[in-house]
Structure 1
Amino acid sequence: MSQTAPYSKDPRIHVDADQLVRLGPRARALSLLPRQPARSILNGRHASRLRGRGLNFEELRGYLPGDDIRTIDWKVTARTGDPHVRVYTEERDRPALLLVDQRVSMFFGTVAYMKSVIAAEAAAIAAHRVLGQGDRVGGLVFSDTSVAEHRPQRRATALTRLLSSIAAANSALHAGLTPEPTVYLNDMLTEAARVCQTSGLICLFSDCDGLDDRSEALLRRLAASNDLIVFNVADPTSHSLALDLKLTVSDGDAQIEIDSSDPELSAKIRASMEDRLEQLHKWSRRYGFPVVPLTTSEPALDQLMRLFGHGGARR
């Protein structure tokens, strides 16, 4: 029997496909791109860098009462003597690619949820929202040793396959895993640039383990050609290891004790975490992509509702 069997039904440790499907109705209240409500994390400088959907020209017609005067085509109006407006419709069928990290480093949590669960739920919510607004959704669901590629499609069946893939990768995680990694974060950033070359939305759901100097060029390339959002999943202990504690961490199966009173160990762990986050935020400022913080202390949906506001509540 699998080592995960006693815990497979605990939604804090593992997710299943049905759980991810049920997040759909609540996803309608979110908006991942401009225009954002004032309290949204994307409001302001980052929102101005995100392109959102474009506008497609539909027709040129005579002015009607109530038309926005900003849409008047003054050249045609002057030529014909009658006011004319240019009619646009919002661009649809835009590709979105979700990079969902389900590596062993994500199978960690000391408060309420595993990082892998938060990433899976947040990605599922984003997938529902993207498809619901008429765009294509796909993903790269990756573990330490495998990648499931889902090309962006605008079909409910494609969404179902993506959610099932996320759930399968999540359910495969357990404390006894000691893989020899063949898949790395930079590999996924490279693959994302190949799959979604321009004018798409790319969302990374990860603890960003494995970021290095090469990652900067990859993130810069993605942000230059697409809308890039990094959802950085972290456990609260990453900010509190400076305390003189003996911290026992368990996933319900195995456990390990971290003695944070050991100055050398504590300094190494803290420096590694801080350096990674500082580097990510530096690149975020430099290349204009938002970093959205997610924590293991509460459900992903609650966090996204608070961070992104009720984008679907008002038009």
Structure 2
Amino acid sequence: MIPKEILDKVRLIEIQTRSVVNELFAGEYHSVFKGRGMEFAEVREYQQGDDVRSIDWNVTARVGTPFVKMYDEERELTVMLVVDASASGAFGSEEQMKGEVGVEISALLAFSAIKNNDRVGLLIFTDEVEVFIPPKKGRKHVLRVIRELLYFQPQGRGTSIAGALEYLERVIHRRSVVFILSDFLDADYQRVLQLVARRHDLIAVNLFDPRERQLPDVGFISLQDAESGGQLLVDTRNPRVRERFAEEQRGEEEQRSRAFRKLGIDEIFIDSTKSYIEPLVQFFRTRMRRL
């Protein structure tokens, strides 16, 4: 039986997100994603301006000339929420943990989907896939998705984005809009990311806390990896130590963002200490201008 406080939280999230969905997201969501759910029709030769994500690599390799897949628009869309529940999501320096922000964003996206009569599904992962709810339509189904997010207790502490995407590729065959909500503190997932991006419309929702990116000047501290448990003693009074740490964080972020752009994957940066509404709305509007 689900505790009363969990059910109360579900109802509160529904009320909060319903207002945002109605006031801010309805038009943008419909414009950006309607028509992204497609059914394959035929291939034709590539023309300047075509989306490179539509290239049929098998046909292209066979004939030696780029060809793109053509689709007939479906009236419905499938939205998949792929949520990282690893231990690093429990980091938070203000009112909310990164993982809690991810739950609220997932709820917002889920309610946006059902408002437009689309299917929504959920995949929760750590170092393995721990929950999979196949995509369906309807308010009752969305409330089940949100209850699962709120009530879920992860068994693993690590992260395997590659494992989650490989699972997604096996079970979701219809082209979908896939939101990956994670801090992306993982490696070795680029190959499978490229594979999945060919079929699905991937959007990386990058959850971060700004204090993860810089060290405070407080003397000797022990840094511990939330997922591996490894520890390192550093002297934060040394400005070179603080700057080197910040540079490494910036370098990793820039490298990750370049990889996303190369694959045609949009990235939304969500600061867990601030409102997530503005960056989400900005993403929708920026993407709408590109259409």
TM-score by length of 2: 0.68
- The structure whose RCO (Cα within 8 Å, separation 6+) is larger is 1
Q: Output the amino acid matched with 1:162.
A: V
CA distance in 2, matches of 1:160, 1:102: 19
Aligned to 2:264: 288
Residue 299 of structure 1 pairs with residue 283 of structure 2:
no
Name which of 49, 71, 74 aligns with 1:91.
74
Determine if contact 2:221/2:236 at 8 Å carries over to the other structure: no
Larger radius of gyration: 1
- Residues in 2 aligned to 1:114 and 1:125: alpha-carbon distance in whole angstroms: 17
Q: How many residues align?
A: 241
How far apart are the structure 2 equivalents of 1:156 and 1:311?
27
Do the aligned residues in 2 keep the contact of 1:112 with 1:298 (CA within 8 Å)?
Answer: no
Among candidates 183, 199, 202, match of residue 207 of structure 1? 183
In 2, are the aligned partners of 1:121 and 1:300 still within 8 Å (CA)?
no
Gaps of 5+ in 2: 42-71, 223-232
Deviation at 1:94, TM superposition (A): 2.0
Quote the Cα distance in structure 1 between the aligned partners of 2:125 and 2:237: 35
Summarize the alignment of residues 266-281 of structure 1 with structure 2, pairs less than 5 Å apart. Answer: 266=242, 269-270=245-246, 273-281=249-257
Unmatched segments (≥5 aa) in structure 1:
1-8, 37-46, 58-88, 174-178, 250-256
RMSD of Structure 2 on Structure 1 (CA): 3.9
2:151 is paired with a residue of what secondary structure?
helix
Question: For residue 139 of structure 1, what is the amino acid of its counterpart?
Answer: L
Q: Which residue matches 1:190?
A: 166
What are the residue-to-residue correspondences of 1:225-240 with 2, within 5 Å? 225-240=199-214
Q: Does 1:141 align with 2:124?
A: yes
Displacement of 1:272 after TM fit? 5.1
One-letter amino acid of the counterpart of residue 94, structure 2: V
The whole-number CA distance in structure 1 between the counterparts of 2:96 and 2:39 is 40
The 1:144/1:190 distance shift into structure 2, 3 A limit, reads closer
Structure with greater helix share of residues: 2
Specify whether residues 190 and 201 from structure 1 end up closer, same or farther in structure 2 by C-alpha distance, changes over 3 A only: same
Give the 3 Å change call, closer, same or farther, for CA 311–267 of structure 1 in structure 2: closer
Deviation of the 1:141 alpha carbon = 2.0
1:122-161 → structure 2 map (5 Å cutoff): 122-143=105-126, 147-161=130-144
Residue 24 in 1 paired to residue 7 in 2? no
Q: TM-score, normalised by structure 1?
A: 0.64
Which residue of 1 is the match for residue 226 of structure 2?
Answer: none
Cα–Cα, structure 1 residues 191 and 145, in superposed 2: closer, same or farther, change >3 Å? Answer: closer
Q: Give the Cα separation in 2 of the matches to 1:24 and 1:311.
A: 22
Question: CA 1:110–1:192 in 2, change beyond 3 Å: closer, same or farther?
Answer: same
Question: Cα offset for 1:274?
Answer: 3.0
